[in-house]
């Protein structure tokens, strides 16, 4: 029996699809950059680091986030355009909204959590205030430009 070109093509297609489905969708993220933090009560440069894994298929991040020298969040997760969630044991906190581009490693976080807001600004948040952290940025113009750029990207769940 002769091998038909159709059979060979079918085998190659099946093999290719199997190979593609077996590729790792996890991307290691290790960011340590200057970020600009701004809101009605502060404007300054602060160092921020984010370390963990980004799943390119599920479009989510699991890892840690460090803001400055004092704030270390060991277990955070998010999907760009949704909430930044922090876990401490069984306690869960919604910190604010995050936009993240895993290819350029740019991110912007709009912090609304009252405790985190207070730690960052030393001011009270009545629930209506937010503070924005954008990285990489060294001034307010850069931070606002990156913030807008990230918000303009079509989100994975919008496709």
How many helices (H) does the chain have, and how many strands (E)? 3, 8
Backbone phi and psi for residue 18, each to the nearest 5 degrees, phi listed first: -65, -45
Which residue in this structure is represented by tokens 């919604």? 94
The per-residue pLDDT string of the chain (159 residues; one tens digit each, 9 = 90 and over) reads: 456 777 777 777 776 666 555 567 889 999 999 999 999 989 999 999 999 999 998 899 999 999 999 899 999 999 999 999 999 888 999 999 999 999 999 999 999 999 999 999 988 888 788 999 999 999 999 999 999 999 998 877 665
Q: Strand 83-88 relative to strand 106-111: parallel, antiparallel, unpaired?
A: unpaired
Q: What is the H or E stretch that residue 7 is in?
A: helix 5-21
Q: Which of 88, 85, 108, 90 is nearest to 98 (CA)?
A: 108
pLDDT at position 138: 95
Q: Where are the domains of the chain?
A: 26-158
Three-point CA angle 29, 105, 39, nearest 5°: 115
pTM of the predicted model as reported, rounded to 2 decimal places:
0.81
Q: What is the H or E stretch that residue 14 is in?
A: helix 5-21
Residue 30: both structure tokens together: 């290790």
């Amino acid at each position: 029996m002769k091998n038909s070109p159709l059979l060979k093509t079918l085998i190659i297609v099946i093999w290719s699809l199997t190979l593609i489905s077996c590729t790792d969708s996890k991307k290691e993220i290790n960011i340590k950059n200057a970020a600009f933090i701004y809101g009605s009560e502060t404007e300054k440069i602060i160092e921020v680091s984010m370390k963990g894994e980004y799943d390119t298929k599920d479009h989510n991040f699991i890892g840690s986030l460090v803001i400055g020298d004092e704030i270390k969040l060991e277990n955070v997760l998010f999907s760009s355009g949704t909430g930044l969630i922090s876990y401490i044991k069984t306690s869960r906190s919604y910190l604010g909204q995050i936009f993240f581009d895993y290819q350029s490693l740019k991110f912007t976080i709009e912090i609304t959590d009252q405790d985190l807001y207070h730690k960052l600004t030393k001011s009270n948040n009545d629930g209506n205030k937010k503070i924005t952290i954008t990285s990489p940025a060294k001034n307010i113009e850069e931070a606002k430009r990156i913030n807008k750029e990230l918000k303009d990207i079509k989100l994975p769940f919008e496709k």
